[in-house]
Amino acid sequence: MLDALAERFVADDYRGCAAIHTMVESADPESPAHQVAARHELATIAYLRDLLVAAGYNDADGLAETLNLLADGAIITAIRLRNARPAEMAKGIAADLLARDKAGAASAGQ
């Protein structure tokens, strides 16, 4: 996911994420536009969770939320920086979190 974002961040037409922009512009959580964008974010988190469960991660729920947060932060920061560095930084943090989860699961099983 973060590799794909890195590629997108350097595109000339990169403008960020439509869902994030929509939630910012229609900040009222009762707004239909805000609700559609929020459902998109929740669907992304659910998809990440399913991938993490299938891969055997212990805290799939927490990791999915955190990975989505990292991606959202990278998306916003890339608008300012106009390069792939935010995705690369997020990828490093994600790798550490995933390794820690796997290590914790392995030591708990001993």
Per-domain residue ranges of the chain: 2-108
Q: How confident is the model at residue 27 (pLDDT cuts 50, 70, 90)?
A: confident
Provide the pLDDT for residue 87: 99
For the chain, percent of residues with pLDDT exceeding 70: 98
Span 2-108: which CATH code?
Answer: 1.10.357.10
Instruction: Residue 81: count other Cβ atoms within 10 Å of its Cβ.
Output: 11
Average pLDDT over residues 50-78: 98
Measured distance CA(21)–CA(96) in Å, rounded:
29
Provide the pLDDT for residue 107: 72
Nearest to 65 by CA among 49, 81, 86: 49
* Among the ranges given (25-29, 44-48, 55-59, 92-96), the one the predictor scored with the smallest mean pLDDT: 25-29
The predicted-structure confidence for 79-109, as pLDDT tens digits, reads as follows: 999 999 999 999 999 999 999 999 887 777 6
For the chain, percent of residues with pLDDT exceeding 90: 91
* Residue 34: its H or E element: helix 32-54
Nearest to 49 by CA among 62, 64, 38: 64
Is the per-residue pLDDT at 110 higher than 70? no
Is the per-residue pLDDT at 40 higher than 60? yes
